[in-house]
Amino acid sequence: MGQEIERRFLVDQALWDRTGRLQARAVRDIRQGFLSTVKERVVRVRVSGEQGFLTIKGLTQGFSKLEFEYAIPLVEAQQLLDALCEPPLIEKIRYQVEHDGLLWEVDEFRGANAGLLLAEVELGSESEEILLPEWLGEEVSHDPRYFNSSLSRKPYCQWQPVPKI
C-alpha cells in the first residue's frame, strides 16, 4: 500500500523568477489526463518526458492519501490521453528544487490552466516541520480547486475571480 503525504502552495511569480527558477533542476514537460475524477478515487494517466504512468489515488484526508503508481508503455499512455481521458488535459512544465533537505516540485501550468504556478513537497509524516522557500505564497493544500483532477474539470482560466498570489 502506498501513501502520499503532500503539502501544496501557490508560488510568487516575481520571487520565483528572481531566485527559485535559478536553483531549479530536472525540468520536464508533463501531459496528463484523468480516466476518473470522483473524489473517492482518481485515476490519472501521465506522460512525463519519455515515460508513461498510470496512477490511482484515494480520498485526501488531512495531507495524506493512498497512491499507487505504475509505469506503462509510452505509446499506451499517449493513446489513453488522446482517446479516453476527460478533456481538457493538464499541461505543465515541472521544475525540481532542493530546499532545506526537501525536494520541491514547482509546476508552471500551460493551456487552460496557464497563469497558475504551484509548488508541492512530499513529506514523511503530516507533522513534519518544514522551512518554506522565500518564493512560496499561500498554502492551498486543503483547497480542492488546486488538485490536478479539479483543474481538469474546471480549469484556472474559468475561475472568477482569479485568486491573487
Residue 9, domain member (yes or no): yes
Tell me which long-range contacts 122-130 makes (C-beta under 8 A, separation of at least 24). 122/4, 122/5, 122/6, 123/5, 123/6, 123/7, 123/63, 124/5, 125/5, 126/5, 126/62, 126/63, 126/64, 128/5, 130/7, 130/100, 130/102
Residue 165, domain member (yes or no): no
CATH number of the domain to which 35 belongs:
2.40.320.10
Residue 7, domain member (yes or no): yes
Residue 144, domain member (yes or no): yes
Alpha-carbon distance 37 to 141, whole Å? 18
Domain that holds residue 110: 3-158
pLDDT, tens digit, 9 for 90 and up, residues 65-107: 999 999 999 999 999 999 999 999 999 999 999 999 999 999 9
pLDDT, tens digit, 9 for 90 and up, residues 7-26: 999 999 999 999 888 888 87
Residue 147, domain member (yes or no): yes
pLDDT, tens digit, 9 for 90 and up, residues 110-159: 999 999 999 999 999 999 999 999 999 999 999 999 999 999 999 999 99
Residue 4: pLDDT over 60 = yes
